[in-house]
Structure 1
Amino acid sequence: MKTRDLVLISLFSAIIIALGLLPPIPLGFIPVPITAQSLGVMLAGVVLGAKRGTLAVLLTILIAAIGLPVLSGGRGGLSIFYTPTTGFLIGWIAAAFTTGYLSERLVNRDQSSLVQVGSFFLASVAGGVIVLYAFGITYLGFAAGIGFNKAFLGSMAFIPGDVVKAVLAALAGRAVIAGYPLLPQRA
């Protein structure tokens, strides 16, 4: 791994952490708040690709696990792995990988900008919504003792916001391809 890769991984970990500074918005009917950090996960996958995007998320989780309050709401420490939201946190890893993997396969520099944005959007929805929710909802239903159906229905309130995040990630991915042609290929 090159120094540039380490810098990019650290940069996107910092972006995910910075998005955690935005206060979480609790919904009340489900123990999972609305946060901006899932946007950072999508961005890491779209811009860095599967390998580096996943490493950026792993670095963020490691920083949180050692006790630094880098997750939304100022959370950190090993206790983050003992909450109903743990499934979403672990799902970040698979979400970044899936988003990055699909971005690598669906998007190239020779496509029109509209096709690139559409492909980045599909990758972001597949990884940052579908895969993330698969992990998060399953664990939430188990850990909170509310069952899968209630966890699923409660989580549907997050879909509109996460689709907006996927649009933002797609636009950012397109901007990076257009504006930074010397950035190493997503891999």
Structure 2
Amino acid sequence: MSSSRSTARDLAQIAVFAALIAALGLPGAITVGISGVPITLQTLGVILAGAVLGARKGAGAVLVLLALVALGLPLLSGGRGGLGVFAGPTVGYLVGWVVGAFVIGAATRLIVPRYPLWAGLAVNAVGGIVVIYVFGVLGLLLRTDLGVGAAIASTGAYIPGDLIKVVVATVVAKGVHRAYPGLIAPRRTTTAV
């Protein structure tokens, strides 16, 4: 019975975070500051999924969202959905969401139950910015005529907004892990005999 309760709880957590990522797309792109750069909030949900649920469930939440998008539900920012989004220039970012959530969750396992703020910031920045951008740039290279330099440069305008998302996600994740220790099982340490 414990195993089925755990499985049901895991599935519920995955569903809730898939819904959170979808809900964060509802406002569409928000233009921030004088730069006119459109920022979406869905990456915040991806970072939170990995930081709160861990590698397997965090990546699972993103995969559920992407499966629903593939079925045609307009769950991406701006009401986008359907198989066409996986043929567009942003497909690399979508793949990066899955890998980013997994990397964040795997690295978060190394810092729980304490979840030091500085370590959470580093983990979330690596998974939520570096990993996602690497896949995003690769997608741009495959789906557009941009060169490597132009593809990398195109991400620069989004870094300030993504840094804010990393800070918000880290503060939220720290509070969640303090209130609900054990959401992510800490890494077992071996002792010498």
Same fold (TM over 0.5): yes
Indicate if the aligned counterparts of 1:46 and 1:124 stay in contact, CA closer than 8 A.
Answer: yes
Alignment partners' CA distance in 1, 2:10 and 2:185 = 10
Amino acid at match of 2:118: G
Q: State the identity as a percent.
A: 41
Report matched runs for 1:1-187 at 5 Å: 2-25=7-30, 33-105=38-110, 107-109=111-113, 111=114, 116-181=116-181, 184-186=183-185
Work out which of the two has the higher radius of gyration on C-alpha atoms and give 1 or 2: 2
CA 1:186/1:71 → structure 2, altered by over 3 Å: closer, same or farther? farther
Alignment partners' CA distance in 2, 1:176 and 1:75 = 31
Indicate if the aligned counterparts of 1:48 and 1:186 stay in contact, CA closer than 8 A.
Answer: no
Report deviation, 1:185: 2.6
Deviating beyond 3 angstroms after TM superposition, the runs of 4 or more aligned structure 1 residues are none
Amino acid at match of 1:116: P
Query: Is the partner of 2:40 in helix, strand or coil?
Result: coil
Report deviation, 1:33: 4.8
> What is the aligned length?
177
TM, length-normalised to structure 1: 0.89
CA 1:65/1:33 → structure 2, altered by over 3 Å: closer, same or farther? farther
Amino acid at match of 2:135: F
Cα RMSD (Å): 1.9
Indicate if the aligned counterparts of 2:55 and 2:104 stay in contact, CA closer than 8 A.
Answer: yes
TM, length-normalised to structure 2: 0.86
Alignment partners' CA distance in 1, 2:184 and 2:157 = 35
Larger helix proportion, structure 1 or 2? 1
Alignment partners' CA distance in 2, 1:89 and 1:81 = 8
Alignment partners' CA distance in 2, 1:51 and 1:175 = 21
Indicate if the aligned counterparts of 2:14 and 2:60 stay in contact, CA closer than 8 A.
Answer: yes
Query: Is the partner of 1:2 in helix, strand or coil?
Result: helix
Alignment partners' CA distance in 1, 2:134 and 2:41 = 19
Q: Is there any run of 5+ residues in structure 1 with no aligned partner, and where?
A: none
Alignment partners' CA distance in 2, 1:186 and 1:146 = 42
